Amino acid sequence: MSTYVSKEIRAELDAARIAALKKSSRLRVEIGNNTYKILTLWKDGFSVEASATPRLRGLVDIYDGANHLYQCLIIADEEEAGEMRYEFKRNTVAADKAPLDFYRAPDAPIALLGHED
């Protein structure tokens, strides 16, 4: 039995797989004012739809819905089966507040209250 699949059928299968990934993913990559849907995210990188996304490079932000997850420096890896894969050169977890430059005790007061005379 032959396992040969024609180019047309392979393209249709890839398009159906990408459509399913786009529908199920909440992740997006943002560069400047442009946002693109992330198909797959893994420890060392992510993939986007190759035909709908221009070549990305440099500093990008990754979001899950409205939650800012990461700020990343990326490089293009390879294009395969309609997906463009990118690898992280640097991947920093986003924080909602600035890091402290001193130790804060867990039982430290939140604020100081003045006394009334």
User: What letters, b where the CB count within 10 A reaches 16 and e where it falls short, cover 29-61?
Assistant: bebeeeebbbbeeeeebbbbbbeebeebeeebb
pTM for the full predicted model: 0.70
Residue 30 lies in a domain: yes
Residue 5 lies in a domain: no
81 within 8 A of 99, measured Cβ to Cβ: no
Residue 31 lies in a domain: yes
Residue 11 lies in a domain: no
The CATH number of the domain where 41 resides is what? 2.40.10.430
29 within 8 A of 46, measured Cβ to Cβ: yes
Residue 66 lies in a domain: yes
Q: How many Cα atoms occupy the beta-carbon half-sphere of 114 within 13 Å?
A: 2
17 within 8 A of 50, measured Cβ to Cβ: no
| Residues spanned by the domain of 68 | 26-93
State pLDDT tens for residues 87-113: 999 988 887 777 777 888 888 887 877
The single residue listed with the structure tokens 């990754």 is 62
In the predicted structure, residue 45 carries a pLDDT above the cut 90: yes
Residue 112 lies in a domain: no
Residue 46 lies in a domain: yes
Residue 13 lies in a domain: no
pLDDT score for 60:
94
The domain tally of the chain equals 1
